Structure 1
Amino acid sequence: MDSFDEDLIRALQLDGRAQFSTLANELGVHRTLVAQRVNELLESDEIRILAAVHPSAVGLPVQVNLQLRISGPTTPVFEQLLEFPNVVFLSEISGQSQAVVEVWAADLDDVGRSVREIQAIEGVVEAQLTIYDRVLRRLRLGRDPEPSDLVFDDFDIALMAELQTDGRLTFGELARRTGRSTSACRARTLRLLEARVMRIGAVRRRRTATTSVLSGFGIMLTGQENAAGSVEKMLLELPTIEFAARTLGRYSIIATIAARSLTGFTDIARQIREHPSVHLVETWVHAHVWLERYEWGMDRILQQARD
């Protein structure tokens, strides 16, 4: 996969409904090339463009990161983890641990139940838990919505259901599927996006041959005054950062950052380690992403709307 594809996918991750002409202007190429390549990426299943509904909107405000050490074959463990309904990210990684699992939960009791069930899987010998205290960047979801914006009706839910299946559906097609007018679908979709209840972007399959390296960083800080703020600022200025959160547990900050190559990954790691407020950095490479889940059953959204 060449640099043009990487730039195109990155742009679609940020805005999955961007017009081909807008993408062409941003990338400095002809619109026809963009349209052809986007269609090829979709048809090959290299990317999917979907609406991601914010965890707060589905009643899952607590998010945690688990790093698992696995003894013996790893595949049976991952296959069982895929069955957990609140596992939203699952990756096989390099290093001392063999898996990164992100769990969304209703509350800490829900976290406890999920962690105990994961620990009980045969082959899991250790689970290191880190709680997200504050999410700083989430590529597929953006900033957290205001609590007042987490109120939606049947029309909102119908639109979210359709856009979770295909984020590039036209407003005309949304109107046909929901029985509403095109203008109503446009206005309501834009309201949901502006309120940050959902965000539409590309999800990579990440299983084909590619030079892209997706890496994780567990950062421990020195404890100096304003250490967290200065490190967070540095991380958020990295152009390929996909996720960052202030955390409680082993690490002060966890980040996920993409790089074009192992050299690029090494350069990013060096930059983070050289920051004066960083005490220690542990890294891992996401060798095989088993799951990135952003779509949710409408029963969960309906339940949250009633609550």
Structure 2
Amino acid sequence: MDDFDEDLIRALQLDGRAQFSTLAAELGLHRTVVAQRVSALLESGEIRIRAAVHPRAVGLPVQVNLQLRISGPTTPVFEQLLELPNVVFLSETSGFSQAVVEVWAANLDDVGRSVRAIQAIEGVLETQLAIYDRVLHRLRLGEPPASADLVFDDFDIALMSLLQIDGRLTFGELARRTGRSASACRARVMRLLKSRVMRIGAVRSRRSVTSSILSGVGIMLTGAEADRGSVESMLLSIPVIDFAARTLGRYGMIATVPARSMADFTEIARMIRAHPSVHLVETWVHAFVWLERYEWDLERLLSRQRTGGAALG
């Protein structure tokens, strides 16, 4: 993919509902060109534009990263990992480990069940676990919800369910499908976005031939605890960073960094290694992303509604 497509996808990752005229002005191109490229990217399956509901809002506040060493054929292992309900990200990697798995869970007991299920899969030799102590940046989700005690009314749930399938549905189409007015749909969607319950953006398939490199970075720290803040600031200053978190486990921090070439990624890795509070950096390449999802079925959202609390509406 050329630089234009990369810039366009990045803009859609940040705002999947951005108007073509807005994207054209940002990228310095004609609106028609932008509209054609967005349509082509959607039709090819290179991107999907969907609403991502924050894990805290659906009762999954605990997130963990697992790196797996696999013996023998990997495909049967990945096929079984895809069946686990709490797996939200699954990638085949190059390097010491053969897989990276991200699990969202209700609590540590829930994490334990997921980890044991993964360890029981034939071919999984070793699991290395890191708990996200604090997520510093997640491109698809943004900041955590403004309130920790959120539940949804039926209108919220209907809108989120539709936008999880197609994040660019017009307010008129949302109105037709929900039986509400377009203005009511617009007001409620804006409220959900403002409250940070959900964010709408592009998700890349990362299965097609592309020059883009998606890499993981595990950072071991040294020095005083106060130095951690400067490492965090350094990570967050990387314009292309997709994800960064403080972790408990082998690494003090984990990050996901897309780059337009291996040379670009190497420069980023060198910058991280050069920080005086960084003791060791381990990297891996996400060679094939099997799964990246942020959507949850209606029953999951309804189960949160039954827990009580004040609805957004």
Q: TM-score, normalised by structure 1?
A: 0.99
CA gap of 1:284–1:115, structure 2 versus 1, over 3 A, is same
Structure 1: distance between partners of 2:148 and 2:45: 36
1:63 aligns to what?
Answer: 63
Identity of counterpart residues, as a percentage? 79
Give, in whole Å, the separation in 2 of the partners of 1:285 and 1:148.
34
Code of the aligned partner of 1:18 = A
CA–CA separation in structure 2 for the residues paired with 1:56 and 1:176:
30
Unaligned runs of 5+ in 1: none
2:266 paired residue number: 266
1:28 equivalenced with 2:32 (yes/no): no
Would you say 1:156 and 2:151 are equivalent positions?
Answer: no
Deviation at residue 223 of structure 1 after TM alignment = 2.9
- Asked if 2 retains the 8 angstrom alpha-carbon contact of 1:149 and 1:197, the reply is no
Residues 206 and 185 of structure 1, relative CA distance in 2, 3 Å threshold: same
SS in 2 for 1:255: strand
Q: CA deviation at 1:151?
A: 2.7
* Whole-angstrom CA distance in 2 between matches of 1:108 and 1:146: 24
CA deviations on 1:137-185 (whole Å, 9 max, x unpaired) are: 1111001112356232110000000000100000000000000011000
| CA distance in structure 2 between the aligned counterparts of 1:152 and 1:199, rounded to whole angstroms | 15
- Asked if 1:200 corresponds to 2:214, the answer is no
Q: Which residue of structure 1 lines up, in the alignment, with residue 311 of structure 2? A: none
Residue number in structure 1 paired with 2:215: 215
User: Is 1:10 aligned to residue 6 of structure 2?
Assistant: no
Following TM superposition, the consecutive aligned residue runs of length 4 or more in structure 1 with deviations greater than 6 angstroms are none
Q: Equivalent residue of 1:57, what SS?
A: coil
**What CA distance in whole angstroms lies between the structure 2 residues aligned with 1:66 and 1:223?**
26
Q: Is the 8 A contact 1:13 1:201 kept in 2?
A: yes
CA distance in 2, matches of 1:148, 1:280: 35
Q: Distance in 1 between matches of 2:221 and 2:7?
A: 32
Distance 2:18 2:123 in 1: 44
Q: Is 1:143 the counterpart of 2:136 in the alignment? A: no
1:295 aligns with 2:295: yes
- For the residue of structure 1 that corresponds to 2:133, the secondary structure is strand
Is 1:24–1:31's contact at 8 Å kept on the other side of the alignment?
A: yes
C-alpha displacement of 1:225: 3.9
What letter matches 1:152 in structure 2?
F
Q: Identify which range, 132-141 or 218-227, moves more after superposition.
A: 218-227
Compared with structure 1, are the counterparts of its residues 225 and 133 closer, same or farther at alpha carbon in structure 2 (3 Å cutoff)? closer
Give, in whole Å, the separation in 1 of the partners of 2:45 and 2:95: 29
SS state of the match for residue 56, structure 2? Answer: helix
The amino acid that maps onto 1:124 is: V
The equivalent of 2:122 in structure 1 is: 122
Give the TM-score taking structure 2 as reference length. Answer: 0.97
Task: Give the secondary structure class of the aligned counterpart of 1:25.
Answer: helix
Check conservation: 2:56, 2:148, Cα contact below 8 A. Answer: no
Aligned residue number for residue 191 of structure 1: 191
Q: CA deviation at 1:235?
A: 0.7
In structure 2, C-alpha distance between the alignment counterparts of 1:224 and 1:58, rounded to whole Å: 36
2:250 corresponds in structure 1 to 250
Aligned residue in 1 for 2:93: 93
Q: Bigger shift: 111-120 or 224-233?
A: 224-233
Seen in structure 2, the aligned counterparts of structure 1 residues 252 and 149 have a Cα distance that, compared at 3 Å, is: same
- CA distance in 1: counterparts of 2:237 and 2:298, whole angstroms: 36
- How well do the aligned residues superpose, as a CA RMSD in angstroms? 0.8
Structure-1 separation of matches of 2:71 and 2:147: 43
**Aligned-partner Cα distance in 2 for 1:205–1:299:** 26
Partner of 1:256: helix, strand, or coil? Answer: strand
Q: How far off is 1:85 after superposition?
A: 0.8
